[in-house]
A and B are shown apart, each in its own frame.
Chain A
């Protein structure tokens, strides 16, 4: 089945130690998104790629970076994780832009910062 895959499902990192989360997709979608979801809150968009074009949200901290080396993979890098960055990180994809382009989500990576 075509799908959005996130690895690992659970990640523990130390305060200030860089960490990378991975997302891959077999849907061949043009757009990939990263969301942060804190406990009992709605997901918050960090940034997205339309093909190779990177689009950052205005309120995304500089501590968060992303890479998309090819269509299938997208990475979220947190350069110096703080305790406040502990959250579920969700990757999503959509076929294209536009109002009817529904987003498909992966299972998420739960990040713990110690």
Chain B
């Protein structure tokens, strides 16, 4: 079945450091890929998405590129801020119509220290 493997956390970085959170997936066909962010005590917010190979999703300084050849969708940001501290979930939505089940990774807790 479909699966998403995320970089183990927690990750702690200093403000203005470069961030990479790795995400790889297993799925048939060409799933859509997403990054969601969850701030403490809140629901999930869609951060960015990509729906086909080589697409780059970007938002709020975060970027991720859909790499079919390496089945990856790594999240990057050039300079993190304290306000980026949250849990980040990589997720995929399958190709087959009618299967709306998002498959999530286990989440990566990110803490940015001033």
Q: Which A residues contact B (CB, under 8 angstroms)?
A: 4, 6, 31, 33, 40-43, 45, 48, 50, 57, 90, 92, 94, 97-108, 110
Contacts and interface: CB of A to CB of B under 8 A. Distances in A.
Contacts of A94: 100
Nearest to A91: B43
B93 A42 contact: no
Contact of B101 (A45, A104, A107): A45
Interface string B36-51: 1000011111100101
Interface size class of B (residues with CB under 8 A): 20 to 34
Contacts of A31: 100
B93 to A, nearest CB: 5
Given A101-B93, A102-B34, A102-B93, 9 more contacts: A4-B43, A42-B105, A48-B100, A99-B97, A101-B100, A102-B32, A103-B46, A107-B42, A108-B43
A100 B32 contact: yes
B12 interface: no
Interface of B: 30-32, 34, 36, 41-46, 49, 51, 89, 93-95, 97-98, 100-102, 104-107
Nearest to B34: A102
A50 B43 CA distance: 21
B100 A105 contact: no
A90 B106 contact: no
B106 A41 contact: yes
A42 B45 contact: no
B46 A104 contact: yes
B107 to A, nearest CB: 6
Contacts of B93: 99, 101-102
Contacts of B36: 105
B34 A99 contact: no
A4 B91 CA distance: 20
